[in-house]
């Protein structure tokens, strides 16, 4: 398990179906009597949610610890996007059971998407679990903990149409002090047939833009120099004072409809020294307005995560993605036209979706060649109970075929990543230093605007600063250079 735990710094690699990312709470000792340990699995949204949980529990009288054996409460913030993700959590619960046998009073809770999907069933299947809370129930955690303290099991998986946690200042867990997440919306209205997110995170609701700006300004004042705006589909961000009567009555509120391009414009103006990233964009929703705002500001990073999922229009229709191969390629062409060929584009890909033929798989490979992704997150199809695909489409591709096709797109992406990196050799990039290289304390690492990891000798530089780096060599996942004169 230890090999799966990494620091908060974002290191772009070439993930495959077998990759898992786990992050744990750091020590935070203020003399409070009870300690909580949180392991976070899955997506950036989950890591952001764990920071909200830590804030709520800190205010309720808990410190955090990075050592599970010291914890009074152990929470696993879970992912349900794939069967393997859930199995990883079940295996981890078995491991935690050993700690609980030595410390019977230890409370164990499951948070997040897996909790929302399984609800009370999780208590029945995993006897070690005392508490289950879905993504919209975190404000109720102090009450749920009290119920367990009184000898009961506790569950809250209520999905809200309003909760955004906009008034909660997240505790920055495992923070490098340079980069941070800002959640701008919650939930998802897209009903992709393979996806559980609409069922585990509920309907879309956007956060008040003023609270987003306030959080960005606060982070900048505390020394952070990059924020990532998070949403399941940031392009569908929409906030209106007309729909928020309380906000309309307050002073100094924005009295108009704010879409994602407006929000980007506003956050970019916090400071030219504050870099802006965002994730995730949806191909059917990303607009030219967003691209023009990205082009307008140097501090909005030139990188877009634009999940294709498949390169074949029939499969995209079965996935209920809302666009065709041609539409997707048109969006990519607009990105290249407005932002230039150097703009980084990344993707998600699923192989072996229901009824996918060999020719349709080849369409995914040719799409990858046409777009030339900088990197991709790649998986074979994993049927999730309750999704539209599980109800209506047979999972009819043999596992060995799924794995073979996955291997082919991984090899394709490895070649494309190297191809995209080679032209950077000899160029100079502005890099935000995020900390020491994982492999050597004599080297620093950061990322350029295109979200490529850059490694270079430390010299007298420190994290949180911008430097210009001359690229001297590269691998498929990293640019290597030296500080430019």
* Domain contains 169: no
- Residue-level pLDDT at 31: 55
Specify burial of residue 104 (Cβ count, 10 A radius: 0-12, 13-18, 19+).
exposed
326 shares a domain with 452: no
- Residue-level pLDDT at 95: 94
Query: Residue written as tokens 């909790």?
Result: 115
C-alpha gyration radius of the chain: 22
Rounded to whole angstroms, how far apart are CA atoms 410 and 387?
Answer: 26
* Domain contains 174: no
351 shares a domain with 304: yes
What are the DSSP E strand ranges found in 372-424?
375-380
Domain count of the chain?
Answer: 3
471 shares a domain with 387: no
Contact, 301 vs 342, CB < 8 A?
no
Give me the domain span that covers residue 479: 425-483
336 shares a domain with 187: yes
Torsional sign, CA 113, 114, 117, 121: negative
- Cα–Cα distances in angstroms (integers) from residue 31 to residues 107, 142, 149, in the given order: 20, 18, 20
432 shares a domain with 392: no
Tokens found for residue 335: 């990105």
Q: Write down the mean pLDDT value for the chain.
A: 90
* Domain contains 82: yes
| Contacts of 58 by beta carbon, 8 Å cutoff, 6+ apart | 28, 64, 171
- Residue-level pLDDT at 241: 76
439 shares a domain with 411: no
Instruction: Give the tens place of pLDDT for each residue, 439-450.
Output: 899 999 999 999
134 shares a domain with 190: no
Contact, 114 vs 78, CB < 8 A?
yes
Helix (H, G, I), strand (E, B) or coil at 354: coil
226 shares a domain with 90: no
Instruction: Give the tens place of pLDDT for each residue, 322-368.
Output: 999 999 999 999 999 999 999 999 999 999 999 999 999 999 999 99
355 shares a domain with 407: yes
Average pLDDT over residues 39-55: 92
Provide, for the chain, the percentages of residues in helix, strand and coil under a 3-state DSSP scheme, each rounded to the nearest 5: 35, 25, 40
Categorize the per-residue pLDDT at 56 as very low, low, confident or very high, splitting at 50, 70 and 90: very high
Q: Which CATH number fits the domain that encloses residue 29? A: 3.40.50.12160
Across 76-85, 132-141, 463-472, least confident range: 76-85
231 shares a domain with 98: no
* Cis ω before 246 (30° cut-off from 0): no
* Domain contains 290: yes
192 shares a domain with 104: no
Backbone angles phi, psi at 23, to 5 degrees: -130, 145
146 shares a domain with 243: no
Angle at 6 between CA 484 and CA 136, to 5 degrees: 115
Instruction: Give the tens place of pLDDT for each residue, 213-262.
Output: 999 999 999 999 999 999 999 999 999 877 665 554 455 555 589 999 99
Rounded to whole angstroms, how far apart are CA atoms 369 and 139?
Answer: 46
- Cα–Cα distances in angstroms (integers) from residue 123 to residues 40, 70, 152, in the given order: 19, 24, 12
| Residue 9 in this model has a pLDDT that exceeds 60 | no
């Amino acid at each position: 398990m230890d090999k799966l735990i990494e620091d908060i710094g974002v290191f772009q690699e070439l993930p495959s179906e077998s990759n898992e990312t786990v992050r744990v709470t750091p020590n935070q000792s203020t003399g409070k009597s009870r300690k909580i340990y949180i392991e976070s699995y899955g997506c950036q949204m989950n890591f952001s949610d764990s920071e909200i949980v830590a804030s709520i529990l800190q205010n309720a009288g808990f410190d955090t610890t990075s050592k599970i054996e010291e914890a009074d409460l152990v929470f696993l913030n879970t992912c349900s996007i794939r069967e393997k993700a859930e199995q990883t959590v079940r295996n981890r619960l078995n491991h935690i059971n050993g700690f609980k046998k030595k410390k019977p009073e230890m409370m164990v809770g499951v948070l997040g998407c897996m909790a929302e999907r399984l609800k009370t069933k999780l208590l029945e299947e995993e006897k070690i679990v005392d508490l289950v809370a879905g993504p919209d129930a975190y404000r109720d955690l102090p009450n749920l903990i009290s119920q367990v303290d009184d000898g009961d099991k506790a569950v809250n998986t209520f999905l809200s149409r309003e909760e955004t946690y906009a008034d909660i200042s997240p505790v920055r867990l495992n923070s490098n002090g340079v980069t941070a997440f800002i959640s701008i919306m919650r939930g998802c209205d897209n009903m992709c047939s393979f996806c559980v997110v609409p069922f585990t995170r509920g309907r879309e609701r956007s956060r008040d833009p003023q609270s987003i700006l306030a959080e960005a300004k606060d982070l900048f004042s505390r020394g952070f120099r990059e924020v990532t705006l998070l949403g399941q589909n940031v392009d569908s961000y929409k906030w209106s004072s007309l729909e928020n009567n309380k906000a309309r009555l307050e002073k100094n509120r924005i009295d108009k409809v704010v879409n994602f391009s407006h929000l980007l414009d506003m956050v970019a103006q916090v400071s030219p020294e504050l870099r802006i990233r965002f994730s995730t964009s949806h191909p059917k929703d990303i607009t030219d307005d967003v691209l023009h705002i990205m082009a307008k500001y140097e501090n909005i990073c030139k990188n877009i995560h634009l999940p294709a999922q498949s390169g074949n229009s029939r499969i995209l229709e079965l996935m209920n993605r809302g666009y065709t191969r041609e539409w997707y390629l048109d969006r990519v062409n607009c990105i290249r036209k407005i932002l230039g060929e150097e703009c980084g584009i990344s993707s998600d890909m699923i192989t072996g979706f229901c009824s996918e033929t060999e020719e349709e798989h080849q369409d995914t490979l040719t799409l990858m060649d046409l777009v030339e992704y900088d990197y991709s997150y790649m998986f074979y199809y994993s049927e999730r109970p309750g999704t539209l695909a599980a109800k209506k489409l047979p999972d009819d591709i043999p596992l060995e075929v799924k794995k073979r096709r996955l291997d082919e797109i991984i090899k394709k992406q490895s070649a494309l990543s190297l191809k995209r990196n080679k032209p950077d050799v000899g160029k100079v990039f502005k890099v935000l230093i995020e900390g020491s290289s994982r492999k050597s304390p004599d080297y620093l690492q950061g990322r350029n605007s295109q979200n490529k990891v850059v490694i270079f000798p430390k010299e007298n530089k420190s994290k949180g600063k911008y430097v210009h780096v001359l690229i001297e060599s590269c691998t498929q996942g990293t640019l290597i250079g030296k500080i430019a004169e």
